[in-house]
Amino acid sequence: MVDGTVPVTRAGYVALVGRPNAGKSSLLNQMVGQHLSIVTPKAQTTWQRVTGILTREDAQVIFLDTPGLLVAKDLFQRSMLGAALEALQEGDVVLVVVDAGYPPSSQDRSRLESALSDVGAPIHIALNKMDVAPPEAVAAWEAWAERIPGARVHRVSAVTGEGIADLMEALVAGLPESPFLYPEDDVASAPVRFFVAELVRETVFELYEQEIPYSVICGVEEFREGSDPLYIQVNVFVERQSQKGIVIGAGGAAVRELGKAARAKIEHFLDQRVYLDLWVKPLKGWRKNRGHLGRLGFRVPEDDDTDGT
């Protein structure tokens, strides 16, 4: 500045929480302007915390997208719920995302109220999907929001962008004054490999039915930087040997379709040509095995004695 003073900036964490399929990931992608969190019509597709970063001249907003708040029935779901609750405690601001297309159920209300009961940060409630929300459902959610002390309500649509600008200003205003916490050109904190694996998993959700998408986890085995096209080997892990044949398909047709669709997404994300090599491998009962979950990057609850054997 001309007078030599340093402009005041704000920086901090915004924790996105909500019930499964509320549209948290779509909203994150809309606010950051990047396809960081996978989005599919199927519920409960965010399994690990995703950090997206939006930097503008006056503020740096670090979004923590989390798995949906659910009733955890096994070790895997307890890991997901733990990630969401942990983010709630880390957020300088909490953004609760709800699906305003339907009125809140008793389970919606109880799960959200339980999660928010110990939150000390400012709470904002985004009534998402306003482009399709009926007035009676919106009124029901707004009536519920009045029960959350100090909460501010915003009507938004992650699809059309309605209300996003005003929501962003409100979130920024709640962040502490601080220098930026990440380099200004960063859009995420996770390595590129994480997002490559997630794009493959997103494509699995789009192409396969029934239990297959929920039984698949992906991991990058090899990433040869400097090669053209960029060689990437991704392991597509399934829980059972019988699922391997379904993912591969007759004569390899299904896995070829998976590779073609996923490669197009990865090339768009990386802005370069990619040779995508998919290996489908059984990883027996990975959702219930503490060791497998830990190696796959999940935060396993320490007070659960499930061993998955």
DSSP 166: H
Q: Which of 131, 139, 137 is nearest to 158 (CA)?
A: 131
Nearest Cα to Cα of residue 99 among 51, 67, 149, 138: 138
Strands 10-17 and 152-155: unpaired
Give per-residue pLDDT as tens, 7-47: 789 999 999 999 988 999 999 999 998 888 878 777 788 88
- Lookup: tokens for 54: 């939006």
User: Given a cut of 50, is residue 306 above it in pLDDT?
Assistant: no
Q: What percent of the chain has pLDDT over 90?
A: 73
pLDDT of 309 over the 50 cut: no
The amino acid at 64? L
Q: Give the pLDDT score at 174.
A: 96
CATH T-level fold of 192-295: GMP Synthetase; Chain A, domain 3 (3.30.300)
The contacts found for 211-216 with CB under 8 angstroms, 24 or more apart, are 211/243, 212/238, 212/243, 212/246, 212/247, 213/40, 213/42, 213/45, 214/44, 215/239, 215/240, 215/243, 215/287, 216/243, 216/247
CATH class of 10-173: alpha beta
What pLDDT band is residue 214 in, cutting at 50, 70 and 90? very high
Note the pLDDT tens digit of each residue in 40-83: 777 788 888 889 999 999 999 999 998 888 878 889 889 988 98
**pLDDT grade for 276, boundaries at 50, 70 and 90:** very high
- Least confident stretch, 233-237, 254-258, 290-294: 290-294
pLDDT at 236 exceeding the cut of 70 = yes
- Strands in 93-99's sheet, in edge-to-edge order, are 50-55, 59-65, 10-17, 93-99, 123-128, 152-155
Instruction: Give 305's pLDDT tier (boundaries 50, 70, 90).
Output: very low
Residue by residue, DSSP assigns 192-207 as: HHHHHHHHHHHHHHHH
Contact of 241 with 282, CB cutoff 8 Å:
yes
Answer yes or no: is pLDDT of 122 > 80.
Answer: yes
Q: What is the mean pLDDT of the chain?
A: 91
pLDDT of residue 34: 85
- The pTM assigned to this predicted structure is 0.87
Helix, strand, coil % in the chain, rounded to nearest 5:
35, 20, 40
- Reported as a pLDDT band with limits 50, 70 and 90, residue 4 is low
Domain locations along the chain: 10-173, 192-295
Tokens of 44: 């409960």
Residue 1 has pLDDT above 60, yes or no: no
Rounded Cα–Cα distance for residues 15 and 289 (Å):
28
